[in-house]
Amino acid sequence: MDRIAVLIPCWNEALTIEKVVSDFKRVLPEAVIYVYDNNSTDRTADLAARAGAVVRHEYRQGKGNVIRSMFRDVDADCYVMVDGDDTYPAENARDMVNLVLEGKADMVIGDRLSSTYFEENKRPFHNSGNMLVRRFINIFWGESSHEIKDVMTGYRAFSPMFVKTFPILSKGFEIETEMTIHALDKNLLLANVPVSYRDRPAGSVSKLHTFRDGAKVLKTIFMLYKDYRPLRFFTFAAVLLAFISLALFLPVFHEYVMTGLVPKLPTLVTSGFFMMAAVVFLGIGLMLDTEVKNSRKNFEIQMNIIRMMLKK
């Protein structure tokens, strides 16, 4: 088992990967640097190996797939995840690692938004997109989410407890959002370390598609809210359906009271279907909430077992 493992997912980062590996070897000389090449068509893998990294390959395209393989393959007391585009400074890694090794955090977030991100990032809509994602998570997860300063940062440190209990479902850039929501839902220890952010050097191209990947991130938040908080999700849907039902029913009922007739029978029937759907949605929410609570109980037991195994 490694003491510290630095995990670098890469796809066509030949321009910067040597510098990133060298910087982290300088700041964390005791760490093992792993570069997972994700079907690069340039010399990323060769240059990473020349810089002293352990190079492995992930042939399923997508950052989520790369992180899945990294977390499965590598065993360490502390994991540092960083992108290979040289936008994150290695100098903050020691502070992030210390928080994990001292047991003060299960996930340390390299917080760009409290530092230079808004000045350095030149891609249109990325700044507002980051703020929008954070706002949605604050709305859905409440007070606990205010501990998260930067939802989509690719610079993080993890404990073995986080890495070995994190169920990776996404395949692409939604992975950071999934990590954040998992930590919030499972009440794991979180910490933020402000990090300076620098834009990509000339000639380096971002793989993140602003609108396509942004839509995937928002969809991930929505679907995980349904999975993790089903009672709230389906109760909201039930209330909305019940409101529509009442909006259709009340005029019909008023006319019946005034005239004793129901001339708008289709409207009355439609109102009844909406109310039935509301009751069904509420029932679904109650059943799924029980399943989620049982799942959380099992998760806590699994965490205790993993903690015992890690101490041996």
pLDDT at 260: 85
Q: Which of the four pLDDT bands, split at 50, 70 and 90, describes residue 31?
A: very high
Q: Is the pLDDT of residue 136 over 70?
A: yes
Sequence letter at residue 118? F
Q: Is the pLDDT of residue 110 over 70?
A: yes
Query: CA 227 to CA 208: how far, in whole Å?
Result: 26
Query: CA 112 to CA 116: how far, in whole Å?
Result: 6
Q: Which of the four pLDDT bands, split at 50, 70 and 90, describes residue 84?
A: very high
Percent of the chain past pLDDT 70, that is, above it, reads 88
Name the residue ranges covered by the structural domains of the chain: 2-228, 230-311
Percent of the chain past pLDDT 90, that is, above it, reads 56
One CATH from 3.40.50.1700, 3.40.50.720, 3.90.550.10, 3.40.50.300 for 2-228: 3.90.550.10
Extract the tokens encoding 87: 């936008």
Residue among 111, 93, 86 nearest 196 (CA)? 111
Q: What is the residue whose two structure tokens read 């030949």?
A: 14
Query: Using one digit for the tens of pLDDT, what is the confidence trace for 244-274?
Result: 999 999 999 989 888 888 888 899 999 999 9
Q: Count H helices and E strands in the chain, helices first.
A: 11, 7
pLDDT at 125: 47
Tally of residues, the chain:
312
Residue 135 Cα to chain centre, angstroms: 14
Query: Using one digit for the tens of pLDDT, what is the confidence trace for 50-65?
Result: 999 999 999 999 999 9
Count of other CB atoms within 10 angstroms of residue 259: 9
Residue among 131, 171, 166 nearest 148 (CA)? 131
Q: Is the pLDDT of residue 161 over 80?
A: yes
Query: CA 82 to CA 92: how far, in whole Å?
Result: 11
Query: CA 44 to CA 10: how far, in whole Å?
Result: 8
